[in-house]
Amino acid sequence: MVESVVSPLQPGSAPAGIAYRSDERASRRRAAGARALAAAALVGATLVPCAAFAADACKNHGELDERYCDDNRDLLADTPTDPKRQKDPPFLLFTYSPLEDPAVYEKLLEPFVNHLKACTGKRIHFYNVHSNAAAIEAMRSGRMHLGMFSSGDTAFAVNLAGAIPYAIRGDAKGPQGYQLWTIVKSDSPYKTLAELKGKKVAHVSPSSNSGNLAPRALVAAEGLVPDKDYKVLYSGRHENSVTGVTTGDYDAAHVASDVVLRMEGRDLIKKGEVRTIYRSPNFPPGGMSMAHDLTPALQAKIKQCTLDYRYSPEMVKSFQGADRWWPIDYKKDWEAIRKVAHANGEAFDAKALQKEQEKAAKK
């Protein structure tokens, strides 16, 4: 069994159910407030200089927080050159950034985590967090060594927490991708984006690529401008957005295509229950990241163990036929994600994350 611990940032474990319900609005507002507090903790931490992180001479930070160096200019935090700052812990803390229910993914990923446990020789604790900001802060503070972030969260985790993305899912042909879909209920009258002006349109969370950043750039370019043509309603999770469309709580939602397909595969919604009126170009899916300050030997071992793994039948079904992890080049493979953010005039920094989380808490 994979050992589990609960994030101290918010007591309690993740709810077992993942379907959106109208009576959950109050709990979603409380969760949004918790996300804002976590983001505030992040921005506070990034603004306080720390001499402990100045041990290595740093020639280039790039877009990374000042505690991290990027001397090789690959856009990722360099492993500290001082061996005293490199970590080889007796156990690894693993988490899943909760844009979808972490309780579901703890069970789904259990065979993979058990493989990592046997392959690395390390005990592994599944670390439950309750917001994307909390997951980023967990890695930044050393309470997370390994885990999965969504595409947008990956970029924030790289810049703010020194995360090293190293693998994304795929099959024998290569890595998978996903699209931003704008969905409506199948029997709704809406056929085009323009018809959604003044309607109830769900976004997922401030740091979500397909659930917020991409719509603000790509959908706006099609003539539907968030916060101008409609009031943005943050649902907290892709599943909440999708289910909210089926129940009529939202007229439309911007979501990741793979989440819709997984929900259909798990019979959480019926096939054909929602209809897509906009599809974006492909983006890289979220993937595996690890802490930058693990020893080089441990980093290499984790990466090799990950790439050697072949998915369980349940993982293959949930991830639309993906059966393995593929190595990535963050600088190249996340370029489209960074371009979307820049098109919005946004940066993947602590102030941007805090600003968006505070906006989400008010909605």
Q: What is the pLDDT of residues 306-338, one digit of tens each?
A: 999 999 999 998 888 999 999 999 999 999 899
Residue ranges covered by each domain of the chain: 3-174+285-362, 180-279
Model confidence at 13: pLDDT above 50: no
Compute the distance between CA of residue 215 and CA of residue 78 in angstroms, rounded to an integer. Answer: 32
Determine the average pLDDT of the residues in 65-83: 96
Which of the pair, 242 or 45, is modelled with greater confidence? Answer: 242
Helical spans, DSSP H, in 143-213: 151-161
User: Mean pLDDT, the chain, as a whole number?
Assistant: 84
| The predicted structure's pLDDT at residue 113 | 94
Lowest-confidence range among 22-26, 194-198, 216-220? 22-26
- Map residue 191 onto helix, strand or coil: coil
Give per-residue pLDDT as tens, 75-116.
Answer: 999 999 999 999 999 999 998 876 556 677 788 899 999 999
Give the pLDDT band (50/70/90) at residue 255: very high
Give the rounded distance of the alpha carbon of 356 from its chain centre: 15
pLDDT of residue 145: 97
Q: What is the pLDDT of residue 184?
A: 98
Which residues are 183's β-sheet partners?
253, 276
User: In terms of CATH, what superfamily is 3-174+285-362?
Assistant: Periplasmic binding protein-like II (3.40.190.10)
Q: Strands 180-185 and 274-279, how do they pair?
A: antiparallel
The reply to whether 180-279 shares the fold of 3-174+285-362 is yes
- CATH 3.40.190.10 is the classification of domain 180-279: yes
pTM as predicted = 0.73
- Evaluate if residue 29 carries a pLDDT over 60: no
29 vs 74, more confident: 74
Instruction: With cut-offs at 50, 70 and 90, classify the pLDDT of residue 40.
Output: low
